[in-house]
């Protein structure tokens, strides 16, 4: 059995399980009164979750996992679509390991579901990548049942690739019939003044809320907005359309790195819920 060992524990999040639990428990308690508990969807399709270090973005991320924890039924598999910060050959790739390890323990990959996806596999794409790994301890902390994951590295952030990937996932699950949730691992505007990043993020968020995938792609490129992982957002939007064209989106939380840093330029974080 091949296990991917943690690459960023001790950097992006604590390196010991008890420290992770303590940190996330503190953040979840602090954010609890900000969560809209009137929204408990019949079906969560997925969501947008930041992938920065926990000190920077956990306050925004925990909002999504609150709904995952309180979902009407447990999930079998979480598909984590993440950008690729390292130079790899494959535009889209599946991991080649059987399980991933964090200080919270091991989680198996849904290899059976992956076998129905015609996607290249790579050890290198995820070997030192943080943007999928940081999602896993959240799931391990918030959920009290076993689940599997399918990490998908997306180097090519294109409209066509996003549509193709959504179709692959949807068709594979028509066969396997997993209870799926798709997590789009994404950080928003990078190293802008807070008011500038907030303005640019609003342009992107408006396209997400009006279900305009082409509009999202064009807005990001025309304004040179530094959203890291917009391909995963487009994939989630395409997939949500396939599940139900009348899907809903709620922006759950927004913030930036100023909570942990005094830098003049900040990185922005947004969490969102896609649901029926």
The DSSP code sequence of 212-243 is -HHHHHHHHHHTT---BTHHHHHHHHHHHHHH
Q: What is the pLDDT along the chain (276 residues), one digit of tens a residue?
A: 899 999 999 999 999 999 999 999 999 999 999 998 878 788 999 999 999 999 999 999 999 999 999 999 999 999 999 998 876 778 999 999 999 999 999 999 999 999 999 999 998 999 999 999 999 999 999 999 999 999 999 998 899 999 999 999 999 999 999 999 999 999 999 999 999 999 999 999 999 999 999 999 999 999 999 999 999 999 999 999 999 999 999 999 999 999 888 899 999 999 999 999
Query: Helix (H, G, I), strand (E, B), or coil: what is residue 181?
Result: strand
Cβ within 8 Å of residue 233, ≥6 positions away:
48, 184, 186, 208, 216, 227
**Of 70, 73, 77, 106, whose CA–CA distance to 94 is shortest?**
77
List the structure tokens of 136: 């896993």
**pLDDT the model gives residue 162:** 97
Distance CA 10, CA 13 (A): 6
**Of 222, 190, 231, 198, whose CA–CA distance to 92 is shortest?**
231
Please report where in the chains the tokens 């029926």 appear, as a residue. 276
CA–chain centroid gap for 159, Å, is 18
Q: Where are the beta strands (DSSP E) in 86-204?
A: 92-95, 99-102, 105-108, 121-122, 148-154, 180-185
List the structure tokens of 212: 């305009």
Distance CA 173, CA 176 (A): 5
**pLDDT the model gives residue 65:** 98
How far, in Å, are 28, 34, 41 from residue 38 at the CA level?
17, 12, 9
The predicted model scores a pTM of 0.97
In degrees, rounded to 5, the angle at the alpha carbon of residue 96 between the alpha carbons of residues 92 and 101 is 110
Element (H, E) at 17: helix 17-31
Distance CA 94, CA 83 (A): 12
Is the distance from CB of 166 to CB of 46 less than 8 angstroms? no
The count of C-alpha atoms lying within 13 angstroms of the C-alpha of 241, restricted to the half-sphere facing its C-beta, is 15
**pLDDT the model gives residue 83:** 94
The CATH class for the domain spanning 3-275 reads alpha beta
């Amino acid at each position: 059995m091949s296990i991917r060992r943690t690459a960023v524990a001790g950097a992006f999040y604590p390196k010991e399980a008890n420290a992770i639990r303590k940190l996330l428990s503190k953040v979840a308690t602090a954010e609890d009164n900000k969560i809209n508990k009137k929204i408990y969807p019949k079906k969560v399709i997925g969501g947008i979750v930041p992938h920065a270090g926990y000190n920077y973005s956990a306050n925004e991320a925990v909002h999504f996992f609150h709904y995952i924890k309180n979902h009407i039924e447990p999930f079998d598999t979480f598909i984590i679509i993440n950008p690729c910060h390292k130079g790899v050959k494959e535009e889209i790739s599946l991991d080649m390991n059987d399980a991933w390890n964090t200080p919270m323990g091991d989680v198996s990959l849904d290899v059976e579901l992956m076998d129905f996806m015609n996607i290249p596999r790579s050890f290198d794409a995820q070997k030192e990548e943080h943007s999928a790994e940081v999602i896993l301890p959240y799931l391990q902390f918030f959920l009290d049942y076993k689940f599997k994951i399918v990490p998908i590295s997306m180097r090519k952030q294109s409209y066509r690739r996003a549509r193709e990937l959504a179709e692959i996932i949807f068709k594979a699950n028509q066969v396997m019939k997993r209870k799926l949730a798709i997590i789009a691992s994404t950080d928003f505007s990078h190293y802008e003044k807070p008011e500038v990043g907030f303005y640019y993020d609003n342009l992107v968020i408006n396209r997400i809320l009006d279900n305009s995938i082409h509009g999202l792609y064009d807005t990001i490129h025309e304004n040179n907005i530094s959203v890291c992982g917009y391909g995963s957002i487009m994939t989630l939007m395409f997939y949500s359309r396939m599940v139900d064209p009348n899907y809903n989106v709620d922006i759950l939380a927004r913030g930036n790195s100023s909570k942990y840093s005094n830098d003049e330029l900040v990185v922005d974080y947004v969490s969102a819920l896609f649901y029926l």
